[in-house]
Amino acid sequence: MDDKASADLQLDEIKSFVARHNDFMEVANGPDDIRRIVRSNKMAIIIGMEVDNIGNFNYANVTVNENTAKAEIRRLYDKVWRYIFPVHLVNNKSSSAIYSLLFNFSNRFTKQSAFTFWRSVAAGIDV
């Protein structure tokens, strides 16, 4: 299963879970919903996720440009995603997972190349 299908499935399952427990929780689509839900003594659920390959943009056959990126963000927003971290464990076309050398194993496995790390003495950053 690709990341786009996985994200969609996870969203469907989250919404289904919340619907089964609507006696004490509800999905919030924005600040007004959060206030209303909390005032009714329920838990406000704000849906979001981290994803390695947002929109499956890492695939060679998928066009990536400003329009397709905006369309994917709109698609996710329309499906009630309210926050997205466009990187999780591996590098993608928009960002890099560089917070630990250990995650470079994931990059090597999924991307067939490891991320190149270097020391930036001038900025005081040592990665």
DSSP state of 67: H
Q: How far apart, in whole angstroms, are the C-alpha atoms of residue 55 and residue 70?
A: 10
**Mean pLDDT of successive 10-residue stretches along the chain, which has 127 residues:** 87 95 96 97 92 78 87 90 69 56 62 58 54
CA–CA dist 86, 94 (Å, integer): 7
Report the pLDDT value the prediction gives residue 39, as an integer from 0 to 100.
98
